[in-house]
């Protein structure tokens, strides 16, 4: 038996001189005397497969076709349209020559439940894309001494034990260009909206290192949601990560969608990542965005409930890669992850199938790292890096309001604040059902327009006092006049903070709502009438002082003179004493 042997698999017995030429090729390549053992394989088509160690030289028709297709994909990526693509294909067909090079081929050991265990790929990289014999694709998620494991993107029924696995040499990524705007795509970047292919000019890895501290700038510019309660008390800045958390059916997605709608005309690109949702729900959302004119600046990345766990797992990373493509071109981007609870469940399923040890609530030990490396990619970049920003609104679902569960506490510790939606407030008719005590924005006034900061004033303190008095009245009906006034003021403010879905407010409207409410312009009305009374006043204000409101919208500033003028008009409208609401020292 020779010391070094290689295997030649072919359909028919080769001639002796053919084997000798191949042995000579191996001797020149590896500097060793290598003998070839011939194995007849009726499953092969024309050509042969020569294997020495982990190196494989595939000269079959199928492999040559794949090699040509790969070259065509690389050339065609630069094509601007279909005709240019055909021209590239014709040119390549005339000039293309197959390359003789060693490749690593793997072999499927077992496959099932979207997981394939593979042997033979000794130099494969973590998160590298693999190509199976039936054309399916997968991603390496586990590397061990004897085997590797990969998650499969799509149906695994066409993959059989013993079938060949090819390395792509590429990290998992998504093809991108500006054409992706307004489209609905899957986590692999393929369009699923029936509007034809997307011509890509760049390839972005789904996993990318977060910007360093040197590459970041402080969060100082507001990203307004159009929701009065949030913009006044829990302002969100461009580059911030603000968690939306609450039980099922409490309006979490509604807040995210209103925020997207409010970015119309503000030069902000929005990305909505749907994780494990029903197809019908995503279709209704896309239809709503189209009707509101928001799809022109929005991209939807969807991994549906019926999709494999692998696609649900990479969906938020793919969406973030899309966002980073625009951020690194100097754009402001908003991304919504709906929701990370389902994302964690998908990763738990994959981890258990990979036989990793379960931990708290059956989640693997690296579940914190799963979301931290995702959310840390959100940032406000410095001017040296283009000045773009990526703002994240992750959504997490709780069970019975338990924010101390494993996934909620993880994401709370990663983000820069949270908006907690309370079920009891929701059922009481408060929309949005924000719990003021448990909600917070750690960026705060640094990302708030000066006019909003002035108008909001002591709103949170007022509501906290109102909640205390409200609890007290449940045990005692005796209140002094000051406490009764505080109670009525709090009830009125809660009415003002109520807001319909799909109706984001302009900054100027929010400022006026807060100003006239907190200055006591409506204290003579029943609290249930406050919202309707302000709705009557706003058209009159727009009619008489449109320049003031336009200045607030464009600059975010509210001068003392403009503030005094708004209060004077309010006093005249409701026939109040101007001094009673502070017009004389506004």
* 203 membership: H or E segment, kind and range: strand 202-205
Nearest CA among 542, 522, 546 for reference residue 534? 522
CA distances from 462 to 77, 234, 413, 582 (A): 58, 15, 28, 18
DSSP-derived secondary structure letter, 99:
-
> What is the CA angle 155-161-166, rounded to 5?
75
User: CB under 8 Å, gap of 24 or more: what pairs does 533-540 form?
Assistant: 533/574, 534/496, 536/573, 537/512, 537/569, 537/570, 537/573, 537/574, 538/509, 538/512, 540/569, 540/573
Cα distance between residue 178 and residue 5, in whole Å: 52
The distance of Cα 383 from the centroid of its chain, to the nearest Å, equals 24
Token couple for 252: 């979490």
Helix axes 481-496, 530-544, angle to 10 degrees: 70
Check: CB of residue 82 under 8 Å from CB of residue 38.
no
Check: CB of residue 146 under 8 Å from CB of residue 119.
yes
Check: CB of residue 543 under 8 Å from CB of residue 257.
no
Instruction: Count how many Cα atoms sit within 13 Å of the Cα of residue 137 in the half-sphere of its side chain.
Output: 13
- At 93 the three-state DSSP class reads helix
Token couple for 98: 């197959």
Say if residue 302 is preceded by a cis peptide, omega within 30 of 0: no
Nearest CA among 563, 556, 558, 553 for reference residue 584? 563
Which member of 11, 442, 531, 565 is catalytic? Answer: 442
Annotated catalytic, 442?
yes
Give the residue numbers marked as catalytic: 442
């Amino acid at each position: 038996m020779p010391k070094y042997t290689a295997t030649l698999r072919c359909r028919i017995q080769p001639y002796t001189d053919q084997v000798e030429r191949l042995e000579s090729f191996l001797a020149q390549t590896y500097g060793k005397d290598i003998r070839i053992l011939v194995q007849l394989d009726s499953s092969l088509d024309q050509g042969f497969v020569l294997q020495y160690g982990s190196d494989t030289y595939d000269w079959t028709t199928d492999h040559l076709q794949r090699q040509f297709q790969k070259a065509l994909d690389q050339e065609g990526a630069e094509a601007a349209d279909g005709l240019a693509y055909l021209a590239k294909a014709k040119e390549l067909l005339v000039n293309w020559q197959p390359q003789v090079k060693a490749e690593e081929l793997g072999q499927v050991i077992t496959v099932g439940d979207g997981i394939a265990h593979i042997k033979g790929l000794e130099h494969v990289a973590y998160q590298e894309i693999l190509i199976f014999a039936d054309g399916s694709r997968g991603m390496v998620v586990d590397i061990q001494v004897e085997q590797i494991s990969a998650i499969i993107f799509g149906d695994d029924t066409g993959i059989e034990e013993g079938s060949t696995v090819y390395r792509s040499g590429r990290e998992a990524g998504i093809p991108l260009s500006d054409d992706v705007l307004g489209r609905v795509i899957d986590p692999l970047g393929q369009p699923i909206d029936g509007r034809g292919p997307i011509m890509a000019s760049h390839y972005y890895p789904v996993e990318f290192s977060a910007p360093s501290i040197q590459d970041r700038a402080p969060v100082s510019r507001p990203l307004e949601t159009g929701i009065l309660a949030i913009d006044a008390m829990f302002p969100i800045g461009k580059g911030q990560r603000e968690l939306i958390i609450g039980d099922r059916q409490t309006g979490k997605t509604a807040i995210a969608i209103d925020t997207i709608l409010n970015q119309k005309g503000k030069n902000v690109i929005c990305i909505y990542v749907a994780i494990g949702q029903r197809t019908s729900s995503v279709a209704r959302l896309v239809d709503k965005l189209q009707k509101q004119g928001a799809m022109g600046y929005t991209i939807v990345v969807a991994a549906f409930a019926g999709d494999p766990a692998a696609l649900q797992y990479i969906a938020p990373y793919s969406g973030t890669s899309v966002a980073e493509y625009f951020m690194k071109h100097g754009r402001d981007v908003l991304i919504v992850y709906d929701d990370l609870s389902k994302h964690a469940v998908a990763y738990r399923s994959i981890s258990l199938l990979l036989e990793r040890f379960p931990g708290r609530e059956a989640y693997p030990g690296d579940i914190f790292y799963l979301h931290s490396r995702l959310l840390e990619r959100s940032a406000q970049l410095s001017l040296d890096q283009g000045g773009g920003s990526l703002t994240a609104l992750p959504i997490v679902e709780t069970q019975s309001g338990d924010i101390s569960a494993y996934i909620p506490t993880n994401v709370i510790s990663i983000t820069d604040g949270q908006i907690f939606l309370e079920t009891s407030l929701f059922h009481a008719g408060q929309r949005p059902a924000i719990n003021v005590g448990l909600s917070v924005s750690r960026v705060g006034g640094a990302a708030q327009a000066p006019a909003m900061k002035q108008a909001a004033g002591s709103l949170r303190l007022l509501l906290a006092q109102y909640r205390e008095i409200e609890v007290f009245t449940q045990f005692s009906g005796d209140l002094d006049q000051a406490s009764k006034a505080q109670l009525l003021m709090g009830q009125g403010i809660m009415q003002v903070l109520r807001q319909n879905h799909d109706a984001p407010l302009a900054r100027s409207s929010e400022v006026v709502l807060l100003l006239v409410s907190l200055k006591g312009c409506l204290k003579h009305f029943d609290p249930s009438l406050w919202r309707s009374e302000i709705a009557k006043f706003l058209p009159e204000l727009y009619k008489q002082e449109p320049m003031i409101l336009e200045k607030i919208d464009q600059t975010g500033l509210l001068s003392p003179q403009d503030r005094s003028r708004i209060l004077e008009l309010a006093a005249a409208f409701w026939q109040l004493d101007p001094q009673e609401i502070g017009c004389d020292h506004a």
